[in-house]
Amino acid sequence: IWDANTGTCLQTLTGHTDFVNSASYSPDGTKIVSASGDKTIKIWDANTGECLKTLTGHNGYVYSATYSPDGTKIVSASGDHNIKIWDANTGSCLQTLTGHNGAVYSASYSPDGTKIVSASFDYTIKIWDANTGTCLKSLTGHTYVVNSASYSPDGTKIVSGSRNKTIKIWGLE
């Protein structure tokens, strides 16, 4: 954990047994969620650095984990081709979203928390209903692996980055 003003390292969180692919704060800043090559997701106390929970259930590297805008859920993306939605308080898996034909490198919520966007090794971006887990749309156009996708702050666009050295902006109207 770094001080954003001074660049000073404030704390180092340890506990994963393989590389850490992502780490992000909860919306209220009290917790941190991390995703690892050890196939786990960890929830940390942002003040003390204590590991509060370890979430297991993916059968491949976990590439990303982020909180929902209201902080009640976590979405994770994995090399097992799946996306999982977790209860951020209990750590229980609420849903598994299936439909990608390759590793899923990122998954994140829309600003209003009603949708999830995912990016995959299968060259696609998928938009999911965050409540039902239904795939609403598959976006194609990248000619190689898609490493990341996320919503614009107003939720009207998606930006994606690919290993083909391109960034695409998708309109959702």
pLDDT recorded at residue 75: 98
Evaluate whether 162 touches 122 at the Cβ level (below 8 Å): no
Residue with tokens 């695409």: 168
Judge whether residue 6 has pLDDT over 80: yes
Alpha carbon 110 to chain centroid, angstroms: 12
Judge whether residue 104 has pLDDT over 80: yes
Alpha carbon 14 to chain centroid, angstroms: 20
**126, 105, 123, 102: which is closest to 115 by C-alpha?**
126
Note the pTM of the prediction, 2 decimals: 0.96
For the chain, the first-to-last Cα distance in angstroms comes to: 38
Judge whether residue 7 has pLDDT over 90: yes
Radius of gyration of the chain (CA): 16
Judge whether residue 32 has pLDDT over 80: yes
Judge whether residue 121 has pLDDT over 90: yes
pLDDT recorded at residue 12: 97
The pair of structure tokens assigned to 101 is 């034909």
Q: What is the DSSP string of 39-89?
A: SEEEEEETTT--EEEEEE--SS-EEEEEE-TTSSEEEEEETTS-EEEEETT
pLDDT recorded at residue 158: 98
Q: Residue 110 carries which DSSP code?
A: -
Judge whether residue 173 has pLDDT over 80: no
What is the distance between the alpha carbons of residues 43 and 41, in angstroms, rounded to a whole number? 7
Average the pLDDT over 114-118 and give the result: 98
Judge whether residue 86 has pLDDT over 90: yes
What residues contact residue 89 under an 8 Å CB cut-off, 6+ apart? 72
pLDDT recorded at residue 125: 98
What is the distance between the alpha carbons of residues 153 and 139, in angstroms, rounded to a whole number? 19
| Tens-place pLDDT, residues 36-81 | 999 999 999 999 999 999 999 999 999 999 999 999 999 999 999 9
